[in-house]
Amino acid sequence: MSPSPPSCLVSKLSHYVDLDDEDRERLAKFEESEEHFADQSEIYLEGDLTEHLHVVKSGWLYGYTDMPDGRRQIVGLHHPGDILGLADIAFPHATVNLRCCTDVSLCPFPKSKMDVIFTEAPRIAALLFTMAAREQVLLIDTLKAMGRMSARERVAYLLLDLLSKLRITNGDMSGMFHLPLTQSEIGDVLGLTNVYVSKTLGLLEVDGFISRQGNKVRILDEKALIRLCDFVDRYADMDTSWFPAKASR
Amino acid sequence: MSPSPPSCLVSKLSHYVDLDDEDRERLAKFEESEEHFADQSEIYLEGDLTEHLHVVKSGWLYGYTDMPDGRRQIVGLHHPGDILGLADIAFPHATVNLRCCTDVSLCPFPKSKMDVIFTEAPRIAALLFTMAAREQVLLIDTLKAMGRMSARERVAYLLLDLLSKLRITNGDMSGMFHLPLTQSEIGDVLGLTNVYVSKTLGLLEVDGFISRQGNKVRILDEKALIRLCDFVDRYADMDTSWFPAKASR
DNA sequence: CGCGGGCTTGACTCACTTCAAGTTGTGTGG
DNA sequence: CCACACAACTTGAAGTGAGTCAAGCCCGCG
Give, as ranges, the nucleotides of chain D with any atom within 7 Å of a protein CB: 7-13, 17-22
The pLDDT of residue A20: 84
A and B: number of Cβ contacts within 8 A: 190
pLDDT per residue as tens digits for the range A8-21: 677 777 777 788 88
Residues A118, B115: C-beta atoms closer than 8 Å: no
pTM for the full predicted model: 0.94
Rounded CA separation B137/A82 (Å): 17
Q: From residue A36, give the alpha-carbon distance in Å to each of A4, A59, A94, A180, B238.
A: 20, 10, 20, 18, 30
| Nucleotide nearest B214 (Cα, C1') | C25
Q: How confident is the model at residue B16 (pLDDT cuts 50, 70, 90)?
A: confident
Q: Does B90 touch chain A (CB under 8 A)?
A: yes
**pLDDT tens for each residue of A28-63:** 776 667 899 999 999 999 999 999 999 998 999 999
Provide the CA B130 to C1' D12 distance, Å, integer. Answer: 49
Contacts of A216 (CB under 8 A, 6+ apart): A176, A177, A178, A179
Chain A environment of B142 (Cβ under 8 Å): 143
Cβ of B201 near strand D (distance < 7 A): yes
Please give the Cα distance from B140 to A74 (Å, whole number): 9
**Inter-residue contact A43 to A37 (CB < 8 Å):** yes
CB A12 within 8 A of CB A79: no
CA angle B186, B187, B192 (to 5 degrees): 150
Using the beta-carbon criterion (under 8 Å), do A241 and B112 form an inter-chain contact?
yes
> Do β-strands A52-58 and A104-110 pair in parallel, antiparallel, or remain unpaired?
antiparallel
pLDDT at residue A170, as a whole number: 79
Please tell me the predicted confidence (pLDDT) of residue B247: 61
Per-residue pLDDT tens digits for B216-233:
999 999 999 999 999 999
Banded model confidence at residue B56, pLDDT cuts 50, 70, 90: very high
| Percent of chain A surpassing pLDDT 90 | 69
Going by C-alpha positions, the residue among A62, A230, A233 that lies closest to residue A148 is: A230
Q: Do A242 and B135 touch (CB under 8 A)?
A: no
**pLDDT for A95:** 96
Q: What is the average pLDDT value for chain A, to the nearest integer?
A: 90
pLDDT mean values, one per 10 residues, chain A (249 residues): 57 77 80 86 95 92 97 97 92 96 92 89 92 96 98 98 89 86 98 98 97 95 97 88 73
b/e code A137-149 from CB counts within 10 Å (16+ = b): bbbbbbbbbbbbb
* Cα radius of gyration rounded to whole Å, chain B: 19
If you measure CA to CA, which chain B residue comes closest to A116? B244
- Contacts of B24-31 with C-beta under 8 Å, sequence gap 24+, read B26/B116, B26/B117, B26/B120, B26/B121, B26/B124, B27/B124, B28/B2, B29/B109, B30/B55, B30/B107, B30/B109, B30/B113, B31/B7, B31/B55, B31/B57, B31/B107, B31/B109
Which of A23, A66, A119, A161 best probes binding to B when mutated, by most B CB atoms within 10 angstroms? A119
Residue A209 has phi, psi (to 5 degrees) of -75, -40
Residues facing A42 on adjacent strands: A99
pLDDT of residue A16: 75
Of all residues in chain B, the percent with pLDDT exceeding 70 is 94
Q: Which residue of A has its CA nearest to B126?
A: A118
Is residue B32 over pLDDT 70?
A: no
B243 touches chain A (CB under 8 A): yes
